[in-house]
Structure 1
């Protein structure tokens, strides 16, 4: 049975793959992204493959923008059945330069060098808002139409660093931990009205946001990139297609008794002790 699927952040590598996978299953897909051009490109790809799709600009931190997108989706496809909260990301202002604080760092005057004490509150707020509020607001807008319907589902995008925080990125790790906690809270809150809520916790996937951090211009791994691979038992980065089967499983009515779970898709990274 065809459903209406709304995907935020769908102009990116991972969520565009998720959007395309739903279209291939015969669902009607609304591709939402802050950049209209990116949303329309993904929509064009889906349309060329015969899928039913609409590409729209939507700011997940702006209720008016989300309401406008919802109105267009309702008019075109009907009410939302499945919501994928894919918008998210990190910011350099919420990131330390080194993984560990050394006493000499306090007198380091190099341009751009940041210790924990130099983290910018605005940068941290940006990361928390984008990941947490950017999950909460779309849920408020689209989940209201799900109440009382059968087979409705919400899938949030957390991260494996919600389980164990990574060095250097306290804001992002904390924000994704909030998404995981919110997923469980929503699963309980919506349990009586037929809406299931789960989350993916991806490990390391090469995207446009992290490519320069993990790989050099010649394609070789940076020091941090190699460190990640060394800590990943499967010895590789994830491919966007690695998310598809778990996504479809969690959103399918065959998983009608599965709610409140956060599933790592990380090649064993979160299970590995390093020894």
Structure 2
């Protein structure tokens, strides 16, 4: 598929999991990809995987909560590829705990990466996109926005992403920029493995339990989310903006 030929994508949090899968899918669809993460080794691994499949990618190491680093990262991507049409805001962290045990840093770390990081990255990228009057921004939220025990911080951040997405779509639409979000449910990644450890159960058992409760009778894969991201990043979705698509196998309809 060549929906994205000639375009450049920046994917944050792309060292592993959903971000890495998104980078691979966008490259497979024809885009050149900048792989951004704090984990330099993880960035290099994702880039190597993209290149092994015939795609073009470069690693970019940056902290999305640092405005200076974000600005330099975006400038470096534009210098490397000449354009920047697609942004996938995937960088995220979890600091799960019940409210009475949740620390201020647990709260602030999640808000900083998910909301401050998304704000800084979109603000930096939109300058290029408004000048060229074209852009596709896809933000990662989660079904946790609907609420989940032990994840008050993550739920608040996920809901905030959806409000931010809608507001950005209204502001940036006149410049030819589409802004949407995807909200995954249970996706088998290191984050869900961490949740399993917190609950004291093997990751495989947790996946089996969730699959039994899901209408589609399976848990999600990073590739499932990447497919939705690639669609929203393409002109196949040119009249879709301000929306949040839930990818949960029907578990929370």
TM-score (norm 1): 0.84
Report what 2:182 is aligned to.
Answer: 200
Select 1:210's aligned residue among 175, 189, 192: 192
When the two chains are superposed, the root-mean-square deviation of aligned CA atoms in Å is: 1.8
Asked if the contact 1:148–1:194 (Cα under 8 Å) also holds between the matched residues in 2, the reply is: no
Structure 1 residue 30 displacement after superposition: 0.3
Residue 43 (structure 1) aligned with residue 47 (structure 2): yes
Report what 1:101 is aligned to.
Answer: none
CA–CA separation in structure 1 for the residues paired with 2:227 and 2:110: 28
Structure 1 residue 18 displacement after superposition: 0.6
State the SS of the aligned residue for 1:209.
Answer: helix
Select 2:242's aligned residue among 251, 255, 260: 260
User: What are the Cα deviations for residues 189-243 of structure 1, in whole angstroms up to 9, with x where unaligned?
Assistant: 1111111100000010111122143377865414xx5653343222221011112
Matches within 5 A, 1:117-266: 117-162=100-145, 164-214=146-196, 220-222=204-206, 228-266=210-248
Residue 18 (structure 1) aligned with residue 22 (structure 2): yes
CA–CA separation in structure 1 for the residues paired with 2:102 and 2:150: 11
Select 2:75's aligned residue among 71, 80, 83: 71
State the SS of the aligned residue for 2:182.
Answer: strand
5+ residue gaps, structure 2, are: none
5+ residue gaps, structure 1, are: 97-115
Asked if the contact 1:151–1:256 (Cα under 8 Å) also holds between the matched residues in 2, the reply is: no
Report what 1:99 is aligned to.
Answer: none
Question: How many residues get paired?
Answer: 247
CA–CA separation in structure 2 for the residues paired with 1:26 and 1:226: 35
Q: 1:170 to 1:230 in 2, by over 3 A?
A: farther
Structure whose CA Rg is larger: 1
Q: 1:143 to 1:228 in 2, by over 3 A?
A: same
User: What are the Cα deviations for residues 92-140 of structure 1, in whole angstroms up to 9, with x where unaligned?
Assistant: 4xx11xxxxxxxxxxxxxxxxxxx2332112101111111111111111
